[in-house]
């Protein structure tokens, strides 16, 4: 099989044809609306992110979205795309253009006649449920990144030549109340330990995310989040 045939075949490993672990991955966006029904008096920030399930629990995560200053009774709409993009950044801060990714693909950062390039590889990722970004440069580490809706979602930093980053994520989001966190910011294990709400988006096309709890004094309650599918 030549390179052209392999590339075409890899690109077929895509939504909606492939089901991973019984999960059907489609195209389009899930319409979500965050609604604040809490008793929070501090206009706390709400962070939304995903985890790379191929790595250990204590790995850092990226703040994909941060909802700020959304008062009680107010709402904030955003989309969760099924599709994702791959990207890379070299040691000089140069960034590759984002490319539409698919589970099962292997991407390679390599030297070309015009400089470094992020290109689809000739073979596959090790698993149909993963996407890989490999560093084939002679020297220089790279950061391998996954994006949703143009915002950085997951990152593996310091991928040295000859190594690769492996990404896999479920159709779930993590959500919690945080302070002093900006979109795109790395969140360490100390921050993540305070966020324990995972919301499945499996089979959802449109839904509200309701936040309750909060308050001050003896009547204060922990923040809670639940999904309310809508038609």
Q: What is the pLDDT of residues 139-185, one digit of tens each?
A: 999 999 999 999 999 999 999 999 999 999 999 999 999 988 999 99
Q: State how far the Cα of 56 lies from the Cα of 62, in Å rounded to an integer.
A: 15
**HSE, side-chain direction, 13 A CA sphere, residue 77:** 4
Q: How many CB atoms lie within 10 A of CB 196?
A: 10
| Band of pLDDT at residue 135, cut at 50, 70 and 90 | very high
Q: Whole-number mean pLDDT of the chain? A: 86
Angle 97-99-102 from CA coordinates, rounded to 5°: 160
CB 65 within 8 A of CB 48: yes
| Band of pLDDT at residue 8, cut at 50, 70 and 90 | very low
Buried b (16+ CB within 10 A) or exposed e, 126-157: eeebbbbbbbbbeeeebbbbbbbeeebbbbbe
Q: State how far the Cα of 166 lies from the Cα of 86, in Å rounded to an integer.
A: 12
Give the torsion sign (CA, 39, 42, 48, 51): negative
CB 177 within 8 A of CB 2: no
Burial of 18 (0-12, 13-18, 19+ CB in 10 A): middle
CATH 2.60.40 boundaries in the chain: 21-82+170-229
Give pLDDT, residue 7. 37
Q: Is the pLDDT of residue 6 over 60?
A: no
The CATH topology of domain 21-82+170-229 is: Immunoglobulin-like (2.60.40)
Give the torsion sign (CA, 77, 198, 155, 66): positive
Q: State how far the Cα of 10 lies from the Cα of 231, in Å rounded to an integer.
A: 35
Q: What is the pLDDT of residues 106-115, one digit of tens each?
A: 999 999 988 8
83-107 mean pLDDT: 95
| pTM for this model (two decimals) | 0.83
């Amino acid at each position: 099989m030549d390179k052209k045939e392999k590339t075409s075949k890899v690109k077929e490993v895509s939504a909606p044809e492939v089901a991973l672990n019984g999960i059907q991955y489609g195209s389009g966006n899930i319409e979500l609306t965050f609604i604040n029904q809490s008793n929070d008096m501090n206009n706390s920030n709400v962070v939304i992110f995903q985890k790379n399930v191929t790595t250990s629990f204590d790995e850092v995560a990226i703040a994909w979205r941060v909802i700020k200053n959304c008062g009680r009774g107010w709402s904030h709409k955003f989309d969760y795309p099924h599709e994702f993009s791959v990207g890379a950044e070299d040691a000089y801060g140069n960034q590759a253009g984002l490319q539409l990714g698919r589970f099962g693909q292997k991407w390679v950062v390599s030297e070309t006649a015009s400089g470094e390039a992020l290109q689809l590889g000739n073979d596959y990722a090790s698993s149909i449920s993963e996407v890989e970004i490999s560093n084939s440069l002679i020297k220089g580490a790279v950061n391998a990144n996954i994006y949703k809706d143009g915002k950085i979602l997951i990152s593996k930093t310091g991928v040295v030549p000859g190594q690769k980053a492996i990404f896999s994520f479920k159709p779930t989001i993590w959500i919690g109340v945080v302070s002093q966190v900006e979109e795109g910011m790395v969140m360490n294990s100390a921050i993540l330990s305070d966020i324990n709400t995972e919301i499945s988006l499996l089979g959802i096309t449109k839904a509200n995310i309701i936040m309750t709890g909060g308050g001050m004094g003896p009547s204060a309650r922990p923040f809670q989040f639940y999904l309310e599918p809508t038609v």
